[in-house]
Amino acid sequence: MGSLDETCASLRAQIIATEAQLAGLKRDLANAEQAAQSATAPTAEIQHKDQNGEGRRWPLLQEEYKRYGRQMIVSQVGLEGQLKLRSARVLLVGAGGLGCPAAQYLAGAGIGTIGLIDGDTVEVSNLHRQVLHRTKNVGKYKVDSAIESLKELNPHPTYIAHRTHLTPEAAPAVFQDYDLILDCTDNPATRYLISDTAVLLGKPLVSASALRTEGQLMVLNNPPRAPGDKTGGPCYRCVFPKPPPADSVVSCADGGILGPVVGTMGVLQALEAIKVITAPEIDGARPRDPPSLHIFSAYSSPLVRTIRLRSRRANCAVCSAEATVTLDTIKSGSMDYVFFCGSTNLPSLLGPEERISAREYNERHLSDSSQLRTIIDVRDEAQFGICSLENSINIPISNILSSGYTSGLQGTDNGQQAAKVPSWLPSEVASSESTNPIYVVCRLGNDSQIAVKKMKELGLDQHGKRFIGDIRGGLRSWKEQVDPSWPEY
């Protein structure tokens, strides 16, 4: 048995090493392709000039008339709008669930230059919603994978890959080469950075977000005006002057996402971008829709609700006359977006004596199966239904956190009298006579810590007589330390 275990462990190690080597080779290939593309840039520039219609009777190529014909006969676009699209330079920050469908429709519409900035590589878990990526491109930079698909869709646009995460130091230099910005990211710090930079450089911004079955969409800084000009469109800070608490921010990895939901929001971003670019000028100015927040909910009726937004805030930190955020404060780092939004890394809330590793828990109770204990899984019901530890009890953390405080067990003249206990706790677990340990587990080992603290505040540890602790690292560590076949989602 030991020999077989060693063989399995060796094979797993070889697979991990090979996958890492493959990912490295894909990155090397991407760098080589970028160098080759740079070497052929002069030729591409000549071709682009030809596409602009120099020396030809008609402003578009024959193939372009065929490709964009159904679009140009729409009265809001026409030939003039198509030429605006071809001369437009659009940057998408993020090549994931929002960026993929947005880029796909912008490329299809004939945007002249499309830039993609993202430092992540393609993972299998991306493929159900990030529709430009393919299984063969797992491990490849997302921007390269996306551009590969976009070129197959439409070879006419110029595609620019920025293989890096957006940073405050680099953002102004990247943004200045584009006319319009699409925020396709999923974290507050980057959203504020994108909005601030767009306002200070005079770029309209189309911002969207999606989580679970809901999404939001806004067109910001439209029309773009200098800070202090009240006729400009509101920015992200005008709508959300303060970021949400860091511990309330849920990512797609933790909260889940329905593919068509994020796809819908990405398509709507592309639509709004096309509307901004092709808007006709009247008396030297482009008309604009009133600033609005569009809220999409897949399981509601109606699907979309619209909330009118106010104009720029008089005390906005970036777009008002009292602005304190400037390009210098962004590039110098004095505007610390991570600090402003709060740390996204949950600190350890429990002491070492309150935590146990997955391996230790398994070994302890595998060797002594007669020892009674309770294991509470605080994930939601949907996640619990995907996979769960044997004999675990599902009590979502939302139920635990909504409980009121109790004083635990009270001494009386007649002995022990149990105080009121939460309705979600099984009676056999809540029994004052039981001192069996309680272990709490979640997906990653964060919610379990919060649940343990709450349960102790409710007095369920019987003033220290009963062990209540969590499995460190959650079910992800269970897969790593105990059961490699455990589903990873």
Any binding-site annotation on 316? yes
Using a 10 angstrom Cβ sphere, with 0-12 exposed, 13-18 middle and 19 or more buried, the burial of residue 256 is middle
Any binding-site annotation on 125? yes
Q: Identify the residue whose tokens are 């080992």.
A: 445
Any binding-site annotation on 118? yes
Instruction: Name the token pair of 205.
Output: 């911004």
Are 224 and 232 contacting, i.e. CB atoms less than 8 angstroms apart? yes
Which has the closest alpha carbon to 163: 115, 113, 98?
A: 115
| Residue 185, C-beta contacts closer than 8 angstroms, at least 6 positions apart | 93, 94, 98, 166, 191, 194
Any binding-site annotation on 294? no
* Catalytic (active site) residue 252: yes
| Residue 444, C-beta contacts closer than 8 angstroms, at least 6 positions apart | 254, 473, 474, 475, 476
Any binding-site annotation on 186? yes
Catalytic residue chosen out of the listed positions 100, 252, 341, 387: 252
Report the greatest alpha carbon distance in the chain.
103
Characterize the bridge pairing of strands 89-93 and 355-357: unpaired
Sheet containing 214-220: give its strands across: 158-162, 113-117, 89-93, 180-183, 205-211, 214-220, 292-297, 304-308
Any binding-site annotation on 126? yes
Separation between Cα atoms, residue 94 and residue 188, nearest integer Å: 13
Q: Inter-axis angle of helices 259-278 and 99-109, to 10 degrees?
A: 40
Separation between Cα atoms, residue 398 and residue 246, nearest integer Å: 17
Strands (E), 311-360: 355-357
Which has the closest alpha carbon to 356: 488, 208, 474, 476?
A: 474
CB atoms within 10 A of CB 351: 8
Which amino acid is present at 310?
Answer: R
Any binding-site annotation on 144? no
Catalytic residue chosen out of the listed positions 100, 184, 341, 442: 442
Any binding-site annotation on 362? no
Q: 56-62 long-range contacts, Cβ below 8 Å, gap at least 24?
A: 59/83, 60/86, 61/156
Any binding-site annotation on 129? yes
Helices assigned H by DSSP within 183-292: 188-201, 236-239, 252-255, 259-278
Q: Identify the residue whose tokens are 């989602």.
A: 489
Any binding-site annotation on 100? no
Any binding-site annotation on 128? yes
Which amino acid is present at 102?
Answer: A
* Catalytic (active site) residue 8: no
Are 293 and 309 contacting, i.e. CB atoms less than 8 angstroms apart? yes
Residues making up the annotated binding site for Zn(2+) are 235, 238, 316, 319
Residues making up the annotated binding site are 97, 118, 125-129, 142, 186-187, 235, 238, 316, 319
Which residues does the annotation mark as catalytic? 252, 442
Residues making up the annotated binding site for ATP are 97, 118, 125-129, 142, 186-187
